[in-house]
């Protein structure tokens, strides 16, 4: 009996550092975020706060520059949607190509494809800004060589700026999808393909009726994870465009930063944080359901 009690104490002591870290720096601040979102609090006087009810939220929804629904949310949606298409599409395609049995140099291709995922987002932002730079950038130089005279301003162009960011983010995030889809493909036993071949299925049919159904759970999980990662992604857009030009790239993460740390409305910023949290909760819920399905399917 005494040994059991000692075991319980040891168990708690072992998990204590992790639990403390998470409680102090994540759980408590989380409750504070909700609390602050109901208060007026300024960056310059952090000790003074007055209760304002839901006014911070109504302020977000009626905001003019930028407008929350038509500018912030639509930019976020555009960025997330575009990134999903790019990252998942190329990630899956490259995983399928590399993992064909007869491909040589698999290790080298994998190492190269993963590079963008270990590179800091700031360095990624700098290297893409260097490419898009209208006067010195290599992109416009190539266009000149091709004889184009009407050179685009890329990151300064209202219509091109978001596609430019999506390309940069696809460059960065495809690596993650590639790793995840490779793990998925490697989980399919080769016998399944052999059985399909014996039954006379061609490459197209094998892909359609064997690979795709078995990969479905991995694709869905990947989709949710990209959404989550991209909604919360701040670094790349902040360093490449800072939300401009004309709020065209003011995604919700950048909007939060501007409200809280540029204009000093910490309460409004906290309310945006709560909205971001809600988006994340929905995505987490989806993710958990998909994960359960995937585990169930494997059994």
Quick check: 212 binds other proteins (CB under 8 A)? no
Nearer to other proteins, 166 or 270 (CB): 270
Quick check: 192 binds other proteins (CB under 8 A)? no
Nearer to other proteins, 90 or 247 (CB): 90
Quick check: 156 binds other proteins (CB under 8 A)? no
Q: Measured at the alpha carbon of residue 69, what is the angle toward residues 67 and 72, in degrees to the nearest 5?
A: 65
Q: Looking at 56-64, 77-85, 154-162, 262-270, which segment touches other proteins (CB under 8 A)?
A: 262-270
How many C-beta atoms lie closer than 10 Å to residue 209's C-beta?
A: 13
Decide: residue 201, CB within 10 A, 0-12 exposed, 13-18 middle, 19+ buried. Answer: middle
Considering only residues 105 through 124, tell me which ones interact with other proteins, judged by CB under 8 A: 109-124
Decide: residue 97, CB within 10 A, 0-12 exposed, 13-18 middle, 19+ buried. Answer: exposed
Cα–chain-centroid distance for residue 134? 28
The contact pattern for other proteins, residues 236-255, with x = CB under 8 A and - = no contact, is --xx-------------x--
Quick check: 223 binds other proteins (CB under 8 A)? no
Nearer to other proteins, 126 or 246 (CB): 126
Which residue in this structure is represented by tokens 């399905």?
Answer: 293
Q: Of these, 40, 157, 235, 293, which contacts other proteins (CB under 8 A)?
A: 235
Q: Determine the size of the site formed for other proteins (CB under 8 A).
A: 99
Quick check: 131 binds other proteins (CB under 8 A)? yes
Quick check: 126 binds other proteins (CB under 8 A)? yes
Considering only residues 38 through 57, tell me which ones interact with other proteins, judged by CB under 8 A: 41, 46-47
């Amino acid at each position: 009996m005494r040994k059991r009690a000692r075991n319980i104490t040891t168990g708690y002591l072992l998990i204590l550092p992790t639990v403390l870290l998470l409680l102090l720096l994540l759980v408590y601040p989380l409750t504070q975020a909700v609390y602050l979102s109901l208060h007026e609090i300024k960056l310059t006087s952090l000790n003074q706060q007055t209760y304002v009810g839901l006014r911070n939220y109504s302020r977000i929804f009626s905001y003019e520059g930028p407008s929350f629904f038509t500018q912030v949310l639509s930019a976020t949606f555009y960025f997330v949607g575009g990134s999903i298409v790019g990252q998942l599409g190329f990630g899956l395609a490259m995983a399928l190509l590399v993992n064909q049995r007869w491909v040589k140099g698999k290790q080298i291709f994998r190492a190269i494809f993963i590079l963008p995922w270990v590179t800091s987002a700031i360095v990624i932002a700098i290297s893409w800004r260097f490419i898009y730079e209208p006067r010195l950038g290599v992109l416009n130089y190539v266009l000149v060589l091709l004889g184009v005279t009407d050179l685009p301003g890329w990151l300064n162009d209202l219509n091109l700026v978001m596609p430019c960011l999506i390309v940069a983010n696809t460059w960065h995030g495809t690596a993650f999808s590639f790793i995840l889809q490779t793990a998925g493909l490697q989980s399919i036993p080769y016998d399944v393909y052999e059985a399909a071949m014996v039954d006379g299925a061609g490459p197209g049919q094998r892909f359609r009726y064997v690979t795709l159904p078995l990969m479905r759970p991995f694709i869905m999980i990947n989709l949710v994870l990209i959404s989550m990662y991209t909604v919360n992604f701040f670094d790349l857009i902040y360093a490449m465009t800072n939300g401009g030009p004309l709020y065209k790239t003011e995604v919700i993460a950048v909007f939060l930063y501007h409200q809280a740390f540029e204009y000093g409305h910490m309460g409004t910023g906290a309310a945006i944080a709560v909205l971001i949290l809600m988006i994340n909760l929905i995505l987490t819920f989806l993710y958990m359901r998909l994960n359960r399905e995937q585990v169930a399917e494997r059994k």
